[in-house]
């Protein structure tokens, strides 16, 4: 059985009351993380040009103003191309725009606007039509096809509670082909907090969601398969598959996954000769954390992504090309998801056990926004006209552009 796409239907955001055109025109001002991460500063070094990101999701609409010219539908193999560019939910298109949207026409501004998207629709519970069920590629088949494509990064903003041997084998195949894979850890922490796949498979980087104050979302799954964290609260997405309006307050590890995938694209574009291991090594080494690197947190993993720290350091050491930065987790296995935290649980100081392939449940989009307490400073960036301090704790942001 395919993993469940928890993101589907999870973006039922209360309308702002504005007309669709007004919402679209203002939507970039809602992308708070662009200033917090100093996107303008990063784009002076890299826009993600030359990097292709496979988006495995609900399909990707290539005709939105922000994605025109950004979607490489011709690079999807015919065997898995069914409705790849017909997004039945709006979710896959949102993830693609967050990664590589140009922002044209008032659309979402991608963090890596120079990158290109290779689209895949995958079989999940959101696919209900019998014909679609028959023809939509399985998650495993889509991963294998993406592994055989020129895409360097696989972005998977979905998750389920069932470990599937075919999917695990496909992930291992993609890793053998040098791909870098990211997946949302899920959004059921407040009710279930079970292990989610594909995030928990070896060689997949599990991404948790943080808010504009640097706190992990209450909904964001925690456990020993969390590897990194990124903005995932109050992130705009398309409201639905009509593509008439954006909803400004989307929440979920889906968006965090897309933003992390874009971060990797920026780095890989700046260092095209690096391997997936080296790109991930630098993301881990520069991530914001106040705990020992060898004791990753169950809530934020190795910390919050800071691609600027890689891009601004031309002499950064990416480590050996063949050294897996998640070698401990991938080689030894994990023991299970952690118990739900108490309201005062810290996002730091919860060491992970290594990854393996035993069950649980998760999702890739959520509906809550608070976080566990943590008063220590995790993150400090000095960018052009920007200072950011994230402490599980706080983005203290002097923004060039504020949301209205």
Question: What's the angle, vertex CA 49, arms to CA 387 and CA 159, rounded to 5?
Answer: 75
Residues 337, 361: contact at Cβ < 8 Å? Answer: no
User: Would residue 383 count as lying in a domain?
Assistant: no
Q: List pLDDT tens digits, range 343-396.
A: 222 233 233 455 643 333 232 433 333 333 232 223 333 222 222 222 233 332
Mean pLDDT score, 297-301 = 94
pTM of the model: 0.83
User: Would residue 366 count as lying in a domain?
Assistant: yes
- Residue with the bigger pLDDT between 289 and 383: it is 289
Structural domain boundaries enclosing 218: 20-372
Tokens of 87: 């997004």
Write down the pLDDT at residue 385.
24
Query: Predicted confidence band at 238 (pLDDT cuts at 50, 70, 90)?
Result: very high
Write down the pLDDT at residue 192.
86
Write down the pLDDT at residue 161.
87
* Calpha distance 344→18 (Å, rounded): 37
Residues 79, 68: contact at Cβ < 8 Å? Answer: no
In sequence order, what E strands does 86-238 have? 116-121, 153-156, 180-184, 204-210, 228-231, 235-238
Residues 88, 152: contact at Cβ < 8 Å? Answer: no
User: Would residue 46 count as lying in a domain?
Assistant: yes
Catalytic residue among 46, 81, 89, 91: 91
* Calpha distance 399→404 (Å, rounded): 12
Percent of the chain as helix, strand, coil, to the nearest 5: 25, 20, 55
* Calpha distance 370→294 (Å, rounded): 27
* Calpha distance 110→363 (Å, rounded): 23
Residues 378, 288: contact at Cβ < 8 Å? Answer: yes
Token look-up 């705009």 returns 236
- Parallel/antiparallel/unpaired status of strands 377-383 and 246-250: unpaired
Mean pLDDT score, 236-264 = 97
Write down the pLDDT at residue 13.
25
User: Would residue 282 count as lying in a domain?
Assistant: yes
Query: What SS3 class is residue 23?
Result: helix
Write down the pLDDT at residue 304.
97
* Calpha distance 301→286 (Å, rounded): 13
User: Would residue 1 count as lying in a domain?
Assistant: no
Instruction: Establish whether 254 is a catalytic residue.
Output: yes
Cα dist. 55→85, 116, 277, 360 in Å? 11, 10, 20, 24
Tokens of 77: 């193999």
Instruction: List the single range of 15-29, 206-220, 334-348 with lowest mean pLDDT.
Output: 334-348
Instruction: Establish whether 91 is a catalytic residue.
Output: yes
Mean pLDDT score, 124-147 = 95
Instruction: List the single range of 52-56, 247-251, 370-374, 385-389 with lowest mean pLDDT.
Output: 385-389
Write down the pLDDT at residue 390.
29
Closest CA to 156 of 113, 128, 116, 186: 186
Residues 16, 95: contact at Cβ < 8 Å? Answer: no
User: Would residue 72 count as lying in a domain?
Assistant: yes
Closest CA to 286 of 402, 387, 378, 397: 378
User: Would residue 321 count as lying in a domain?
Assistant: yes
Q: What is the CATH number of the domain that holds 242?
A: 3.40.50.200
Quickly list DSSP for 381-403: EEETTEEEEEESS------SS--
Residues 141, 127: contact at Cβ < 8 Å? Answer: no
* Calpha distance 259→99 (Å, rounded): 6
* Calpha distance 17→210 (Å, rounded): 26
Sign of the dihedral defined by the CA atoms of residues 299, 305, 309, 313, in that order: positive
Catalytic residue among 35, 38, 57, 141: 57
Sign of the dihedral defined by the CA atoms of residues 93, 39, 256, 48, in that order: positive
Rounded to an integer, what is the distance from CA 313 to the centroid of its chain? 24
Q: List pLDDT tens digits, range 32-41.
A: 999 999 999 9
Q: What is the CA radius of gyration of the chain?
A: 19
Write down the pLDDT at residue 147.
98
End-to-end CA distance of the chain: give it in Å, rounded: 44
Domain tally for the chain? 1
Query: Predicted confidence band at 231 (pLDDT cuts at 50, 70, 90)?
Result: very high
User: Would residue 388 count as lying in a domain?
Assistant: no
Mean pLDDT score, 169-186 = 98
Instruction: Establish whether 141 is a catalytic residue.
Output: no
Instruction: List the single range of 96-105, 321-330, 362-371 with lowest mean pLDDT.
Output: 362-371
Mean pLDDT score, 144-168 = 96
- Residue with the bigger pLDDT between 372 and 50: it is 50
Secondary structure letter of residue 170 according to DSSP: H
- Parallel/antiparallel/unpaired status of strands 386-391 and 377-383: antiparallel
Mean pLDDT of the chain: 81
Tokens of 76: 């999807």
- pLDDT > 90: what percent of the chain? 70
* Calpha distance 120→103 (Å, rounded): 22
């Amino acid at each position: 059985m395919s993993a469940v796409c928890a993101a589907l239907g999870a973006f039922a955001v209360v309308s702002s009351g504005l007309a669709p055109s007004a919402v679209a025109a203002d939507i970039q001002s809602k992308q708070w993380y662009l200033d917090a991460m100093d996107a303008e500063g990063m784009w002076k070094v890299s826009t993600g040009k030359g990097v292709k990101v496979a988006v495995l999701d609900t399909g990707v609409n290539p005709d939105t103003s922000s994605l025109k010219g950004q979607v490489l539908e011709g690079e999807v193999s015919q065997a898995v191309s069914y409705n790849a560019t017909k997004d039945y939910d709006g979710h896959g298109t949102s993830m693609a725009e967050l990664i590589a949207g140009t922002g044209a026409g008032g659309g979402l501004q991608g963090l890596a606007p120079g990158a290109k998207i290779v689209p895949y629709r995958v079989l999940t519970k959101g696919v209900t039509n019998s014909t679609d069920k028959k023809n939509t590629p399985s998650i495993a088949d889509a991963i294998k096809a993406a592994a055989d494509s020129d895409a360097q990064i696989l972005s998977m903003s979905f998750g389920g509670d069932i470990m599937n041997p075919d999917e695990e084998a496909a992930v291992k195949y993609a890793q053998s082909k040098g791909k870098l894979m990211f997946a949302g850890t899920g959004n059921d922490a407040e009710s279930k907090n079970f292990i989610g796949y594909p995030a928990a498979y070896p060689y997949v980087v599990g991404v948790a969601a943080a808010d504009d104050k640097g706190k992990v979302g209450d909904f964001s799954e925690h456990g020993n398969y969390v590897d990194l964290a990124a903005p995932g609260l109050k992130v705009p997405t398309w409201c639905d598959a009509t593509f008439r309006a954006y909803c400004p307050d989307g929440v979920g590890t889906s968006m965090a996954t897309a933003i992390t995938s874009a971060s990797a694209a920026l780095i890989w574009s700046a260092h095209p000769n690096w391997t997936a291991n080296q790109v991930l090594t630098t993301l881990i080494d520069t991530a914001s954390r106040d705990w020992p690197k060898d004791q990753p947190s169950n809530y934020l993993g190795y910390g919050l992504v800071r691609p600027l720290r890689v891009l601004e350091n031309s002499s950064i050491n990416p480590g050996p090309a063949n050294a897996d930065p998640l070698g401990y987790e991938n080689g030894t296995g994990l023991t299970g998801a952690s118990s739900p935290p108490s309201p005062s649980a810290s996002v730091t100081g919860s060491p992970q056990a290594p990854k393996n392939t035993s069950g649980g449940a998760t999702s890739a989009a959520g509906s809550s926004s608070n976080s566990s307490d943590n008063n220590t400073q995790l993150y400090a960036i000095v960018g052009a006209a920007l200072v950011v301090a994230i402490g599980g704790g706080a983005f203290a942001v002097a923004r060039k552009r504020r949301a209205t």
